[in-house]
């Protein structure tokens, strides 16, 4: 082999090794940590969190999943994904209630974290500091494509972050945004940020297919 070919092969080999190493995720050997699963609606966030918690249960760990009581779309108590996967959950009214009930567990899941107030950030970090594995799922953007609630700060603190994608309801491409609809049309941006709903009110959209509310220009001006 020509020397230049040797060098190319060596570089390619190192690149392949590097590519493999970048996807290896090694959890801390001691203490707790924070995992965040985010993305638009219909991207499988709750389903992925349930999968991780089920594995922890199989490993003999004490597991609990919390959900905000406001989220009763599919069930008042269970966490239920849009695809139908479910897991018994503890519906809570407040962050202090969540913190008090989490103390007896090894792994804590928190679903739809964007519905909690800003104190959930300190609570999640405190649980991790106390040695718990904390798995959080929620929307990273609201229907206006703006950062949603506490999610940006949680993403900054997390040891592990997974941003999932959905399928665009319009073109079938990769969806990273959530479109709110009112009577089949894009919802006005002046509406409330938190409106609990499912497929009757929301669609996953790609960047090109996402439509701004009719009042978007006026609000910016």
Q: Name the binding residues for Zn(2+).
A: 168, 171, 206, 209
> Residues near 166 by Cβ (< 8 Å), separated by ≥ 6?
39, 40, 41, 42, 43, 44, 174, 175, 176, 204
Q: Token pair for residue 114?
A: 């964007």
SS (H, E, C) 95-117: HHHHHHHHCCCCEEEECCHHHCC
Residue 48 is among the residues annotated as catalytic for this protein? no
> Within a 10 A sphere around the Cβ of 7, how many other Cβ atoms?
11
Catalytic pick from 35, 48, 112, 203? 112
Binding-site residue set:
39-46, 111-114, 168, 171, 194-197, 202, 206, 209
Q: Is 153 helix (H, G, I), strand (E, B) or coil?
A: helix
Catalytic residue IDs: 112
């Amino acid at each position: 082999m020509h020397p230049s070919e040797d060098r190319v092969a060596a570089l390619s080999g190192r690149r392949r090794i590097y590519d493999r190493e970048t996807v290896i995720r090694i959890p801390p050997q001691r203490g707790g940590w924070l995992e965040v699963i985010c993305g638009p609606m219909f991207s499988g966030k709750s389903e992925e969190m349930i999968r991780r918690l089920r594995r922890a249960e199989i490993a003999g760990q004490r597991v609990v999943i919390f959900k905000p009581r406001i989220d009763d779309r599919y069930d008042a108590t269970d966490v239920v994904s849009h695809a139908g996967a479910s897991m018994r959950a503890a519906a809570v009214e407040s962050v202090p209630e969540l913190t008090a009930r989490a103390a007896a567990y090894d792994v804590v899941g928190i679903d739809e974290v964007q519905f909690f107030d800003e104190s959930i950030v300190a609570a999640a970090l405190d649980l991790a500091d106390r040695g718990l594995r904390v798995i959080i799922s929620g929307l990273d953007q609201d229907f206006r494509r703006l950062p949603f609630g506490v999610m940006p700060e949680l993403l900054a603190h997390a040891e592990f972050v997974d941003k999932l994608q959905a399928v665009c309801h319009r073109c079938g491409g990769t969806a990273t945004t959530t479109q709110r609809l009112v009577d089949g049309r894009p919802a006005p941006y002046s509406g409330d940020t938190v409106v609990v709903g499912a497929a009757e009110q929301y669609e996953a959209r790609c960047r090109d297919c996402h439509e701004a509310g009719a009042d978007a220009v006026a609000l910016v001006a």
